[in-house]
Amino acid sequence: MRIKINGRVQGVGFRYAVERTAKDLGLLGWVKNQPDGSVMSVVQGLNAKIDELVDRCQKGFGRSRVDEIQVNPEPVDKKLAEFKIIF
């Protein structure tokens, strides 16, 4: 899945919280800040675990504020072996 999170999600540790949560859930993929101020993530794993990650992102982490989340299907990338932050 490709997840785009809009709101106050940059400069508040959001990517690090997504990375930690995704790893705890056993998901693969990446998370990255976008030029428009959003955060983008590509996530692979069990649907229930992806749904849990999306729910946690919707609630926000720390000082973040989530205004909108867009979730779209993404083709499986067999090269993904872990979850990481991309800079």
- Positions annotated as catalytic residues are 15, 33
The answer to whether the CB of 41 falls within 8 A of the CB of 18 is yes
Cα separation values, 84 from 21, 40, 57, 68, Å: 11, 12, 16, 22
Q: Is residue 57 classed as helix, strand or coil in its secondary structure?
A: helix
